[in-house]
């Protein structure tokens, strides 16, 4: 399979079951699927960006970016997001689909005026897609403390041509993601 057969589309309410199935298959359990469903229904996660990747007509991947704030939820802040989760079903993993979803999502967020995107994830993977490890060293703290040995997993990418102009502080996620259980190994 080549990535030229992959199409990426923004999701809508009609896609909720498909998204749930992709998340469940990709992770092998329902925790991320339930979190994704909750985030899609969480008004504090908006504006959000949800994309599905299709191979022909089969949904094979999903990515979700939700709104976050710095220090407190306040509408007068710059638009910033967090990537969580990214899912590709097992038989389509390691073929570039996750990267395609990240690239498409970051481009759409940039067009929408988002200044920063955060992710908590595998450093070797997300750095290949422009994320900078240890966002805490840049002054952007995770919603909950990240143990020192995993500090590099908390990453950020600027979408602003002037780079890191968003004020520093602690990231506040949507209500459904801003819970300690989502921030522990």
User: So what's the pLDDT on residue 185?
Assistant: 60
* Of the candidates 100, 78, 88, 90, the residue with the CA atom closest to the CA atom of residue 5: 100
Topology of 3-183 in CATH? Aminopeptidase (3.40.630)
CA dihedral 49, 96, 136, 81 (to 10 degrees): -10
Distance (Å, whole) CA 38 – CA 41: 5
User: So what's the pLDDT on residue 49?
Assistant: 98
Distance (Å, whole) CA 107 – CA 71: 26
User: So what's the pLDDT on residue 2?
Assistant: 55
List, run by run, the mean pLDDT of 10-residue segments along the chain (185 residues): 81 95 96 96 97 96 97 91 98 96 98 96 95 96 93 95 84 94 78
User: So what's the pLDDT on residue 166?
Assistant: 80
For residue 57, report the phi and psi dihedrals to the nearest 5 degrees: -105, 0
Query: Which string of DSSP letters, residue by residue, matches 145-177?
Result: PPPGGGGGGEEEEE-STT-S-SPPEEEE--TTT
Model confidence, pTM:
0.95
Residue ranges of the domains in the chain? 3-183
Which residue shows structure tokens 């939700």?
A: 66
User: So what's the pLDDT on residue 115?
Assistant: 95
């Amino acid at each position: 399979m080549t990535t030229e057969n992959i199409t990426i589309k923004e999701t809508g309410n009609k896609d909720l079951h498909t998204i749930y199935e992709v998340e469940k298959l990709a992770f092998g359990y329902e925790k991320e699927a339930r979190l994704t469903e909750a985030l899609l229904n969480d008004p504090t996660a908006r504006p959000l960006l949800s994309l599905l990747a299709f191979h022909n007509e089969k949904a094979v991947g999903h990515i979700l970016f939700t709104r976050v704030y710095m220090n407190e939820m306040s509408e007068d802040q710059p638009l910033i997001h967090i990537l969580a989760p990214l899912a590709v079903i097992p038989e389509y993993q390691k073929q570039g689909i996750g990267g395609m979803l990240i690239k498409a999502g970051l481009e759409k967020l940039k067009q929408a005026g988002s200044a920063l995107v955060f992710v908590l994830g595998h450093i070797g993977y997300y750095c290949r897609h422009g994320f900078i490890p240890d966002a805490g060293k840049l002054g952007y703290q995770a919603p909950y403390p990240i143990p020192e040995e995993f500090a590099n997993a908390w990453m950020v990418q600027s979408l602003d041509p002037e780079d890191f102009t968003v004020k520093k502080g602690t990231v506040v996620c949507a209500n459904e993601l801003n819970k300690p259980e989502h921030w522990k190994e």
